Amino acid sequence: MTTTAIAPTNIAILKYWGKIKGQYHIPTKSSLSFTVEKLCSTTSLAAGKGNMKIDFTLNGRKAKEGSKEHGYVSSYLTFLSETLPFIRNYDYQIVSENNFPTAAGFASSASGFAALLKALAGELDEFSGLRGDDKKLSALARLGSGSAARSIPSEGGFVKWDRGSGEDWEKDPVYSSYAYSLFGPEHWPELRIIYATVESREKKIRSLDGMAESVKTNPLYQAWVSHEESLLKNDMMEAVSKKDFEVLAHMIMQASNSFHSICHGTYPPIYYLKPKSLQIIDAIHKLNDGKVKAAYTFDAGPNPVIITRKKEEMEVLKLLDELVGEVNLFRTRPGTGPKYSKKHLL
Ligand code: DP6
């Protein structure tokens, strides 16, 4: 049999950047995101009795054994098999496609690992007890890439990834930290999300390595964690709950700036933003002078994601068109979580 899963990416408005337990991807702080409609990974998976031989094709290219891409999938399945030993009893044929540039800071690892886990869960009978348990599936996706935990909740929309507590991590490092939906996309249908591509080359410093350096070397790291965990997180959830765009927009921009200042304060410093990114930041602040119309947020890359509302979207698009060109803009909105499809890639 073959199972095909389609999983969306997500954009963090309160960032995850740092792990407490490295391999388990237990985060130092909670994070918040919007599930993104139309930007997704599609993964088809077929499993037959065997011993974990993996045949993996990504974006039309077969990944050789020993390659980076093959390594991501095989290390993930190997690590998952420590919790779910039945995974070792199969060989896998996996074909995956992203509909956006891989590794440009558009969080392809989030949708990629979420789609892989959902496909696996749909394909193997032994998953039947877990298949409908989004919290457990979110925790299991987290083991591939932290941000993938936020791409699992079926309801999608506005998602919170709880870091969990020390006691729980000790008892159960796998299932103690997971993401769940706070509000589905219908809660705030006016919201719009615009991805602008400033650069689509692969990013130089992977999140995995960058965040480990920030935790180790930035003297302000703990202060950032406690500020966001104890204050900003709750304020942001309240702003979304009340649909207060002005308040939320300010907090989104501040959280993005604080995250990048954590990167700059890492030693040696990590710079993800490019001159064009800074130009966009200035242009959004100028646009917001008087009335808040848009917010920017940047992940570990130079490409901004702009959050706005339907009534201001055209004005924001016009501005971005002048800065990066229409072909480099992608319009979307908050959407729902992963789905299964009958159209297979293999
Ligand atoms: C800046 O989830 O890619 O996008 O857990 O090491 O795979 P790993 O990291 P990853 O990091 C994402 C970092 C971020 C912020 C975020 O999405 O919260």
* SS3 letters across 67-112: CHHHHHHHHHHHHHHHHCHHHHHEEEEEEEEECCCCCCCCCHHHHH
In 3D space, the residue among 97, 233, 77 whose CA is nearest the CA of residue 163 turns out to be 233
Cα(304) to centroid(ligand 1), Å: 15
Cα(18) to centroid(ligand 1), Å: 9
Confidence (pLDDT) at 185: 98
Residue 296 β-bridge partners: 306
In 3D space, the residue among 89, 87, 179, 85 whose CA is nearest the CA of residue 137 turns out to be 179
Which atom belonging to ligand 1 lies closest to the Cα atom of 16?
A: 18
Q: For each of the chain's 346 residues, which pLDDT tens digit applies?
A: 999 999 999 999 999 999 997 789 999 999 999 999 999 999 999 999 999 999 999 999 999 999 999 999 999 999 999 999 999 999 999 999 999 765 455 657 999 999 999 999 999 999 999 999 999 999 999 999 999 999 999 999 999 999 998 888 889 999 999 999 999 999 999 999 999 999 877 667 889 899 999 999 999 999 999 999 999 999 999 999 999 999 999 999 999 999 999 999 999 999 999 999 999 999 999 999 999 999 999 999 999 999 999 999 999 999 999 999 998 999 999 999 999 999 999 9
Distance CA 324, CA 104 (A): 16
Cβ atoms of 116 and 76 within 8 Å: the answer is yes
Is the beta carbon of 16 within 6 A of some atom in ligand 1? yes
Residue 254 β-bridge partners: none
Distance CA 209, CA 162 (A): 22
Is the beta carbon of 31 within 6 A of some atom in ligand 1? yes
Cα(36) to centroid(ligand 1), Å: 15
Q: CB 271: neighbour CB atoms within 10 A? A: 13
Is the beta carbon of 107 within 6 A of some atom in ligand 1? yes
Distance CA 4, CA 13 (A): 29
Residue 202 makes CB contacts below 8 A (sequence gap 6+) with: 102, 103, 104
Is the beta carbon of 228 within 6 A of some atom in ligand 1? no
Is the beta carbon of 173 within 6 A of some atom in ligand 1? no
Looking up tokens 């699992």 gives 152
In 3D space, the residue among 8, 9, 6, 7 whose CA is nearest the CA of residue 303 turns out to be 9
Residue 161 structure tokens = 């990834």
H-assigned helices in the chain: 68-83, 108-123, 134-142, 166-171, 207-217, 221-227, 233-242, 245-264, 275-287, 310-324
Nearest CA to ligand 1 atom 4: 299
Is the beta carbon of 12 within 6 A of some atom in ligand 1? yes
Which atom belonging to ligand 1 lies closest to the Cα atom of 15?
A: 18
Quote the longest CA-to-CA distance of the chain. 64
Distance CA 275, CA 287 (A): 18
Confidence (pLDDT) at 194: 96
Question: Does a cis peptide bond (omega within 30 degrees of 0) precede residue 85?
Answer: no
Query: Best substitution site from 160, 207, 264 to test ligand 1's pocket, by max atoms within 8 Å of Cβ?
Result: 207
Report yes or no on whether pTM surpasses 0.85. Answer: yes
Is the beta carbon of 299 within 6 A of some atom in ligand 1? yes
Helix/strand/coil for 269: coil
Q: Which long-range contacts (CB under 8 A, 24 or more apart) does 75-80 make?
A: 76/113, 76/116, 76/143, 76/144, 77/52, 77/120, 78/52, 79/23, 79/143, 80/120, 80/140, 80/143, 80/144
